[in-house]
Amino acid sequence: MSNKPGNALRTILTLDGLARRDAAINRIHPLSKLLVTLGYIATVVSCNKYDIAGVSSLFIYPFALFLWADLPFGDALRRMKLVLPLVVFIGILNPILDPNRVIIAGHVVSAGVFSFTTLVIKGLFALLASYLLIASTTIDSICYALQCLHMPKILVTQFMLTYRYISVLMEEVQHSVLAYQLRAPKQNGVHHKVWGSLAGQLLLRAIDRATVVYEGMTLRGYTGDFSYLHHSIHAGTRDILYVIGWVIIFISFRLLPVFELLGSIFVHFHLK
């Protein structure tokens, strides 16, 4: 029987470990990284639904950050294998529902093929940008950045606790599934007759664990305020240049036909 809860828990712990590294990208101010991530996603989403070349050119951001952060690209794709099918499912009917037609090499093709491809690329790039943010920034730092943007305190706290309690829930799921495996070693998966009782026990155990975690946080002085990070995280010239540089790149790649310009430059030098 596969240990999916254990794998999910290891994924969360791995991301936490990556976010706590002493790498150059990790030392960028979290507010700068959050603003750049939001700006990148907004730029990707704003592209025309038929502009495959324009959207594809924005791959420069995740490509550069994966190299700079020294993160394996294939590992990121494997971690998103459960979300990518959802993106594909959303646009799977585009080739049928889109009434527009285009002619390519003498063949009539539905414009929905282009909109579907663009949608998948947009979803992939947005997921990669979110992954890079989480893999290079701790959850406390992200909450601090949200607080700097004056997000409502209750929403920031909800975001942080949801992320924290996911690991608690996955740990309890792992224990429950392991206990079931030991009691039914020849059973392939969890039998449907025990789904209800197992889910109820899991909920009660998760609530108990979450209560203990919250009480521990309260005893250590947690009040939902992340201002204490202000003394350890300082914004400098590097962080400002990081935002300005990427904003200029996003605008340039969004407004200019990058692939066409590169192609013309290549042809020009090749003819010379």
The yes-or-no verdict on residue 107 having pLDDT over 80 is no
Cα separation, 20 vs 55, in Å, equals 31
For residue range 119-128, what is the model confidence (pLDDT) as tens digits?
889 999 999 9
pLDDT of 5 over the 80 cut: no
Whether the CB-CB separation of 128 and 44 falls below 8 Å is answered with no
pLDDT confidence tier of residue 11, bands split at 50, 70 and 90: confident
Q: Where are the beta strands (DSSP E) in the chain?
A: 101-104, 107-110
Q: Please state the pTM of the whole predicted model.
A: 0.78
Q: Tell me, what's the pLDDT at 114? A: 80
Q: How many residues in the chain? A: 272
Q: What is the pLDDT of residues 129-168, one digit of tens each?
A: 999 998 888 888 888 888 888 888 888 888 887 887 777 7
Residues paired with residue 110 on neighbouring β-strands, in sequence order: 101
* Distance between CA atoms of residues 195 and 176, nearest Å: 11
- Selection from 91-100, 107-116, 139-148, 175-184 with the highest mean pLDDT: 139-148
pLDDT value for 1: 46
Q: What is the pLDDT of residue 270?
A: 58
d(CA 55, CA 121): 7
CB 132 within 8 A of CB 79: no
SS3 of residue 108 by DSSP: strand
Q: What is d(CA 41, CA 167) in angstroms, rounded to the nearest whole number?
A: 27
Amino acid letter, 38: L
Tell me the pLDDT tens digit for each residue of 183-235: 777 777 677 677 777 778 877 887 887 788 778 878 877 766 666 565 566 77
Instruction: Inform me whether the pLDDT recorded for 253 exceeds 80.
Output: yes
Q: What pLDDT, on a 0 to 100 scale, did the predictor assign at position 241?
A: 94
Tokens of 17: 């470990």
Torsion of CA 259, 265, 271, 272, to 10 degrees: -160
Confidence of residue 37 (pLDDT cuts 50, 70, 90): very high
Task: Give the Cα-Cα-Cα angle 260, 265, 270 (nearest 5 degrees).
Answer: 125
The predicted structure's pLDDT at residue 95: 73
Rounded Cα gap, residues 118 and 100, in angstroms: 15
Name the average pLDDT for the chain. 80
Give pLDDT, residue 235. 73
Distance CA 175, CA 196 (A): 17
